[in-house]
Amino acid sequence: MDASLHKMIKSETLEAMKTFDVRDDDIWLITYPKAGTTWAAEIINRIHQTGNTEYVAAEKNLLFYPEFSIPGRKPLHEEFADKPSPRTFVTHLPGERLPPQLLQKNAKIIYVCRNPKDVAVSFYSHHKVDPYVKDYTEWSQFYEDFINGAVAFGSWGNHVTYWWKRREQKNVLFHLRGHEEGPERKSKNDC
């Protein structure tokens, strides 16, 4: 993943993620963009709010995109480091760019995967409205970049494969979105 592909990700932040302190009670929701991030975040948010009769938006409870640097603020990973436990992070970073401690500690990892055709169409539309990523006027150019992993957050295939290979780890839940009703389970930890 090339940090230059998303204007809110700085190379210093990617470097800092190598030493980010992961806690055993952290929850990490990891998705490729447009794979169901908001959908899954809202489910987690609702679980966090058990017993709370007043809805609180996920943005208030979950720590979205520690990889981002917002102008005029310190990097989000620094803001999030001191938040009280349990912390829930939402990220699109490829597995190899996440803190190595994530696989060494007992943090819970939820990976949501979605059909690449659906992801590509949605991500193409997203690129038309997000000022922090390249704007595409032609589907054919976006498609070529998507297939070659030359879009923000890199290759869909590499992103998914990283977590697919780790789906049997006790702290990893790999969820294949769109197959909720199907007979196949993609992880022994799927619930």
* Domain annotation covers residue 143: no
Q: What is the pTM of this model?
A: 0.88
Overall average pLDDT of the 129-141 stretch: 92
| Residue 185, pLDDT above cutoff 60 | no
Q: Which residues are catalytic?
A: 92
pLDDT digits (tens, 9 = 90+) for 78-102: 999 989 888 999 999 999 999 999 9
Overall average pLDDT of the 46-51 stretch: 79
Query: In terms of residue numbers, what domain contains 84?
Result: 3-114+153-176
Average pLDDT, the chain: 87
pLDDT digits (tens, 9 = 90+) for 136-184: 999 999 999 999 999 999 999 999 999 999 999 999 999 988 755 544 4
* Domain annotation covers residue 73: yes
The CATH number given to whatever domain includes residue 95 is 3.40.50.300
* Domain annotation covers residue 82: yes
* Domain annotation covers residue 52: yes
Following DSSP, what letter does each residue of the chain receive, concatenated? --GGGSTTB-HHHHHHGGG----TT-EEEEE-TTSSHHHHHHHHHHHHTTT--S---HHHHSEE-TTB--TTS--HHHHHHTPPSS-EEEE---GGGS-THHHHS--EEEEEE--HHHHHHHHHHHHHH-TTS---S-HHHHHHHHHTT-STT--HHHHHHHHHTTTTSTTEEEEETT-TTSS--S-TT--
* Domain annotation covers residue 49: yes
* Domain annotation covers residue 19: yes
pLDDT digits (tens, 9 = 90+) for 58-68: 667 778 899 99
Number of domains comprising the chain: 1
* Domain annotation covers residue 38: yes
* Domain annotation covers residue 191: no
Q: What percent of the chain has pLDDT over 70?
A: 88
| Residue 187, pLDDT above cutoff 80 | no
